Amino acid sequence: MTSAYYGKREKLYLDDLHWAIIKASHILHSNGIFDAYGHVSVRNPDNLSNFLMPRNLPPALLQSADDIVEYKTDDAEPVEKDTPAGFAERAIHSEIYKKFPGVNAIVHAHSTDVLPFTISEVPLKACIHTAGFLGKIPPVWDIASAYSSSDKKDLLVRTATLGHSYAASFKPETSTGFLYQKMKAALPTTIGGGTPDPSTVPDHPVVLMRGHGFTSTADSLEAAVYQAIYTAEAAEVQLNAITIHDAHFGRTVEGQVDVGEHGSGKIKSAKVKTEGKIKYLSDKEVGDAWAFSRDTMMRPWALWCREVEVSPLYKCDVKKEEEGDGK
């Protein structure tokens, strides 16, 4: 996992991270999380104050190391001059990295399965065992609360101020972070377990954005990709469950009818009654399910990599260290 690049290590080939960024972008497009938009990034393990991110290019078309740009976490500006144009929302990445030293990878996406939960006030919940990382209810950040008078009102996180506000929603002041820390503590130390400093990691690894999408944060790129894919899958399952629940059980209105001399015939003190209920994961199930997923996520990662490797759409000129010349 790319989390092995952070902390003690004997060697590191940046080509491996370039390869991982390209593969992650292809995988997220192949799984319908990205379309022409969306982006991933990883922290530079040789300089934790910088991060690596694709240039402004459709994710499916990333191909070479020249498509990857190094940016400064401090201001989201390129480290080198004369670099290709970057994404407008780099501040999402820079401000999250700045606030959370324990985050090493980020995925930002606009999945249409997730979008209904950003605008309807219906909370997205962990309803399948592959989505335990969602915890109880991921927050929904509304950019309208952070706009300045000079900002474009296009829902894009274009400035450090907007990025800072969004990053803060990953650790709300009212949240203790207990559940996330409990999940992390349950993991084997070889895959990122143990008890981290609570100040270095988000309380919520995934946060939604009103009318925009969501962002997945993790200590490895594989985990960030896994969370993004299964956030969308959990949203699809929950949407389908709500649809068939309401279609099967329906809703009835109970109350008193105003039938007095001048009664209007309207129902007074009415309440909506529904039968049945949608069953979500319990707190214990959330923690245990996420611990299992973290232990096995390289299985779907290997499958996803193979799927994009055999597709003629996706091209990758970068070789991993063990695939190269042994440099």
Q: Choosing from 70, 77, 89, 254, which is the catalytic residue?
A: 89
* Token couple for 197: 């400093």
Is the CB of residue 67 less than 8 Å from the CB of residue 54? Answer: yes
Q: 34 has which bridge partners?
A: none
**Among the listed residues 60, 13, 4, the one whose alpha carbon sits nearest the alpha carbon of residue 32:** 60
Contact of 132 with 200, CB cutoff 8 Å: no
Is 89 an active-site residue? yes
Question: Which one, of 64, 12, 15, 39, lies nearest residue 216 by Cα?
Answer: 39
How many of the other CB atoms lie within 10 Å of CB of 299?
Answer: 10
Strand partners, 105: 42, 218
For residue 84, give the DSSP letter: P
Strands 140-141 and 206-209: parallel
d(CA 135, CA 247): 28
Sign of the Cα torsion 36, 168, 225, 280 reads: negative
Smallest CA-to-CA distance from 135 within 194, 48, 196, 205 is with 205
- Other CB atoms within a 10 A radius of the CB of residue 273 amount to 12
Buried b (16+ CB within 10 A) or exposed e, 129-142: bbbbbbbeebbbbb
Q: What are the catalytic residues?
A: 89
